[in-house]
Structure 1
Amino acid sequence: MPYLSRIRINPLRTQSRRLLASPHVLHGAVQGGFPGPPGAERTLWRLDADDPYRPHVYVLSRSRPDWTHLVESAGWPGAAGERAAVRDYEPLLKRLAEGQEYAFRLTANPVRNTVKPEFLTPSQAKKLARVPEGAKARGFRVAHRTAQAQLDWFLGHTDRWGFGVSGSRTDPAAPGLAEPSDDVRDVQDVRPGSGPQEVRITARRRHSFAKGDGTRRVTFNSATFEGRLRIRDVELFSATLLAGIGPAKAYGCGLLTVAPLRQE
């Protein structure tokens, strides 16, 4: 039975600063919410730090967690209100139906596979040098680095995730009003000829941190997407919610969350 958790983080505490600064450290703290050896529980998680004074960590897990260690070391153990909420995820999955619309949020690691990267890293160059002549080289995972490329990646994959992005409900500007800036136009014209769609990138980051004994570095790019989606295939969509989207899931990418649309 899956569970969705939300943990309030106190950003002024020493341990909180370590967690907020490193996806690797936060991953370890998330894994500490489950019994058994590290990695026994496969989780999806996301750090939402839009409000730097009230960051939250969301975690989707198969079994029910215990967040006492996080609340005591990085939260508000004595404060009023819900310090760590844990909710059964099954009722949401049972309510899903084709055609339903939800507000959504996703932090993902947009990448593509290519056998000919534009810029080879030293490790990629070594791998290519070891490929026998005439043999087919395996593709390399390459990050999408621009906002437009990341948006195109997201919109180009929604069908396989069981949903589509709803059309924008914003009316065209009245005559005489200023044209939108280039940044706004880039985000609106996500599919030529299809009209504006309800999706935007609210945050973009490049992460780089040491892992293990410090000799290995992990580097990846993340983008946070928000908007409005419409379910097209309930089975596919449910699987997407539970399995996550894209790589770097251990480091806070892949968790798609949905919420009822606000009444206007």
Structure 2
Amino acid sequence: MNDDPVIARIRLNPHSREVQRDLCDATEMHRTMMRLVPDGLGESPRSQTGLLYRVDETDTTSTLLVQANRLDPARLPTGYGQADIKSLSPMFTALRKGLAVRYRIVLNPAKRERLPLEAKGKRGRIVPLSGADADQWWLRRAADSGLHVHVLAPTNMQPVLSRRQDADGMRHSLIRYDGTATVTDPDALHEAVLAGIGRGKPYGAGLLSLAPAPVA
């Protein structure tokens, strides 16, 4: 498979029934996204292809960003939207220590609940984080990913809804972060962009977008 990652920007058609369905049901959106990557990949095709996606919405438009090693937008449902594809290689080439960047990411900040000692051998529930706890979670993950964050502007998103309840009953709460940062470790940042950050990747979380930031 071609290892050169690409990103597709798909301007969604608000009149498409499939678009309306997917925006209301995370399971259906994930199923549609998986149509864009090759068939016959066996187990964990999303991980194998590095598929990540995010929906960016304004008052008037919805845009879907999809990233993977290989994408074929022609496999989208007819009338779903108009797609433009570009390689991420130029962005990776430009990454260097000290580079100022703007970023956007939708995250599912969460932690595993601590259980009492008598519950040894059992695992606690995954608990969504919010407010200052979520902000600190992102700052730690950003640092681990080669970014020193200067500004973070959180926006609470609608919780991810699905007709199928997860096995652990977890509700996927999403927060979008926008801001500026400085690259501290280009290699770690490269890996974070490719792999995504945090949980909830099948539900539209984890895709980190970067762009050069003007330096004051």
TM-score (norm 1): 0.71
Cα distance between partner residues in 2 of 1:201 and 1:27: 24
Tell me which residue corresponds to 1:248: 200
Cα distance between partner residues in 1 of 2:5 and 2:77: 21
1:202 aligns with 2:155: yes
The AA in structure 1 aligned to 2:153 is R
The partner residue of 1:135 within 113, 120, 140 is 120
The AA in structure 2 aligned to 1:66 is D
The alpha carbon displacement at 1:5 in A equals 1.1
Tell me which residue corresponds to 2:29: 26
Q: Secondary structure at the match of 2:163?
A: strand
Cα distance between partner residues in 2 of 1:204 and 1:225: 10
1:98-146 Cα shifts (integer Å, max 9, x gaps): 0001110000100112323xxxxxxxxxxx9xx9x573433432111x3
Q: Secondary structure at the match of 2:162?
A: strand
1:44–1:253: 8 Å Cα contact kept in structure 2?
A: yes
Q: Give matches, 1:185-200, under 5 Å.
A: 198-200=151-153
Cα distance between partner residues in 1 of 2:127 and 2:39: 34
Cα distance between partner residues in 1 of 2:33 and 2:194: 17
Cα distance between partner residues in 1 of 2:119 and 2:178: 45
1:153 aligns with 2:159: no
Tell me which residue corresponds to 2:86: 87
The partner residue of 1:45 within 32, 53, 61 is 53
The AA in structure 2 aligned to 1:68 is A
The alpha carbon displacement at 1:152 in A equals 1.9
In the alignment, structure 1 segments of 5+ residues that lack a partner are: 76-82, 117-127, 167-197
1:56 aligns with 2:59: no
- Percent of aligned pairs with the same amino acid: 23
1:71–1:84: 8 Å Cα contact kept in structure 2?
A: no
Cα distance between partner residues in 2 of 1:15 and 1:139: 37
2:9–2:65: 8 Å Cα contact kept in structure 1?
A: yes
Tell me which residue corresponds to 2:183: 231
Q: Secondary structure at the match of 1:210?
A: coil
TM-score (norm 2): 0.86
Cα distance between partner residues in 2 of 1:15 and 1:74: 7
Q: Give matches, 1:178-189, under 5 Å.
A: none
1:10-59 Cα shifts (integer Å, max 9, x gaps): 1222221101112211111111012214752340111111x143211111
CA RMSD of aligned residues (A): 2.4
Gap change, CA 1:53 and 1:12, over 3 Å in 2: farther
Tell me which residue corresponds to 1:193: none
Q: Secondary structure at the match of 1:150?
A: helix
Tell me which residue corresponds to 1:107: 106
Cα distance between partner residues in 2 of 1:251 and 1:226: 19
Aligned residues: 207
2:104–2:176: 8 Å Cα contact kept in structure 1?
A: yes
The alpha carbon displacement at 1:260 in A equals 2.1
Cα distance between partner residues in 2 of 1:89 and 1:113: 33
Gap change, CA 1:52 and 1:20, over 3 Å in 2: farther
1:61-98 Cα shifts (integer Å, max 9, x gaps): 012x11124362322xxxxxxx2111111121111000
Q: Which of 1 and 2 has greater Rg? A: 1
